[in-house]
Amino acid sequence: MSEAKLQAVFVQALGISPDHRFEDLRYRGLDAWDSVAHMQLVSGLEEAFDIMLETNDVIDLSSYEKSKQILAKYGVRF
Amino acid sequence: MLEGQVALVTGSTRGIGWATAQRLAQQGATVVLNGHSNPGLLEQRVTELSQSSGREMLGLSFDVADDVQVVAAARDIHARYKRLDVLVNNAGILRDAMLGMFSREAVDRVIDVNVKGSLFVLQAAARLMMRAKRGSIVNLSSIIGTRGNPGQAAYAASKAALVGLTLSAAKELAPHGIRVNAIAPGYIDTDMIKHLSADKHRERVAGIGLGRVGTPEDVADVVVFLASEWSRYVTGQVIGVDGGMVI
């Protein structure tokens, strides 16, 4: 459930296909994940999971896998 | 004009901040008031504004210069309202001293509150606003930051920094539907001018084209304009509210 919600946020923020290999996603690893999209991603995660990320976590959000680790700190289970 | 909207005004227990909170509330906004040094006064202001508006207002006591406290405050606003429509970055301090007479501590505190504080609050507020893809941020700069003044180098530097912050943030946040503007008040009747001598006061007023000291409400009305849809196509601007003051 959480995984599907997380993937939906990435699809929406980065404009990628739902079939994308999410585990390969890295900040600036594709053109779509630029600094503007990064803030849309942060906003999307906060909205979807009803949380507010610490500034350091916003900076550390560097990959799809990292996003799961960060969300786990806020009580999101995968 | 602002019915249903939520506005955060930092440093809103006195002066321009308090006048702004009142004006925003009069226009229908729910106002989150902020203070740091006097929790009792903050509580009193919340009660006053709640009673005069007939709506329940919120008071959050936090130091804008502390980024952890700022994020916690943003979290409180999100938990309670799930939205933030307007930020007025008003909290600021004044430390006058001629060049060469500044202590390291005084400079640090001016920069911490006026510059870093505004940055931290803007950063947290923008993230709340991005969710709705709309919002308005108003930074309180000063005529001292755009024109300079003897004995106010640190304050001037901090207020000039807010111009740069406004221009950069406006460009960065425009794609997210968030407008960012600044106001540069002139000589306004607040606690900040109470320490001036009568001679200095007369000299200042003589340099004002409209011939009078500004009121906090003169500034607050422009804040309301920038917060509202009346200014929907205005971003990245620094608006002087100074009565034509020459400095």
Instruction: Give domain limits for chain B.
Output: 6-241
CA dihedral A10, A12, A15, A20 (to 10 degrees): 40
Domains delineated in chain A: 2-73 (1.10.1200.10)
Judge: B78–A52 Cβ closer than 8 Å, yes or no.
yes
At B15 the pLDDT is 96
Give percent of chain A above pLDDT 70: 100
Question: What distances in angstroms separate CA B180 from CA B87, B162, B208, one per listed residue?
Answer: 9, 11, 27
DSSP string spanning A36-66? HHHHHHHHHHHHHHT----HHHHHH--BHHH
At B172 the pLDDT is 94
At B231 the pLDDT is 98
pTM: 0.91
Does residue B155 have an active-site annotation?
yes
At B192 the pLDDT is 80
List, for residues A54-63, the tens digit of each pLDDT value. 888 999 999 9
Q: Residues of chain B whose pLDDT is less than 50?
A: none
DSSP B210: T
Written as one letter, the residue type at B154 is A
> Which residue on chain A is closest to B124 by alpha carbon?
A55
The total number of residues shown for chain B amounts to 247
Alpha helix (H) ranges present in chain B? Answer: 15-26, 39-53, 67-81, 104-110, 118-132, 143-147, 153-173, 198-206, 216-227
At A6 the pLDDT is 97
Q: Is A42 on the interface with B (CB under 8 A)?
A: yes
Judge: A36–B78 Cβ closer than 8 Å, yes or no.
no
The CATH classification number of B6-241 equals 3.40.50.720
The span from the CA of B20 to the CA of B216, in Å, is 8
Mean pLDDT for A40-47 is: 92
At B236 the pLDDT is 98
